Structure 1
Amino acid sequence: MASMRGAVVQDRVALAEIELCGELMIAASSADGERLSPDRIDEVLRAAKEFE
């Protein structure tokens, strides 16, 4: 079995999902209410209105 020491492995999709989760956590921690509204979630995730 080959050693992975020193190797850089990146999964761009996973990194993007982690970044989006982080953005949602930041938005949720600064929200006034108990939950984020669907509109606020769309804003945070930069969701396009054309996908509705």
Structure 2
Amino acid sequence: MVTLSPRTVSDHVALAEIELCGELMIAASAAIGERLSADRIDEVLDVQVITERTTVPRQADHRGDGAGDRRGPRP
């Protein structure tokens, strides 16, 4: 007798990972070169590239008045 357990979140994650691996294998088998480029992998996995600021802006930068700067208002 087989006991079935309820599906868990990890089941959905595992299935999604298997599907992504399958997509990569299909793309790799159709590729002309020896390996997929990073851009092609991103395309297959539908990766969206988002550029972010590398520094944290100061509060005064958002206000534009220099009030958040300890040195006083900007000239």
Same fold by TM (over 0.5)? yes
Q: Which one scores higher on RCO, CA 8 angstroms, separation ≥ 6? A: 1
Where 2:15 maps in the other structure, the secondary structure is helix
**Which portions of structure 1, spanning 4 or more consecutive aligned residues, are displaced by more than 4 angstroms?**
none
Counting helix residues as a fraction of each chain, which structure ranks higher? 1
Q: How does 1:20-39 map to 2 (within 5 A)?
A: 20-39=20-39
Q: Could you list the runs of 5+ residues in structure 1 that have no partner in the other structure?
A: none
Deviation, 1:49, is: 1.1
Please say which structure displays the higher CA radius of gyration. 2
Normalised TM-score (structure 1): 0.80
1:51–1:35 Cα change, 3 Å: farther
Question: What percentage of aligned pairs have identical amino acids?
Answer: 65
Q: CA RMSD in A?
A: 2.2
Question: What amino acid maps onto 1:33 in structure 2?
Answer: G
For 2:16 and 2:51, how far apart are their aligned partners in 1?
Answer: 19
Normalised TM-score (structure 2): 0.57
For 1:14 and 1:32, how far apart are their aligned partners in 2?
Answer: 29
Q: Could you list the runs of 5+ residues in structure 2 that have no partner in the other structure?
A: 53-75
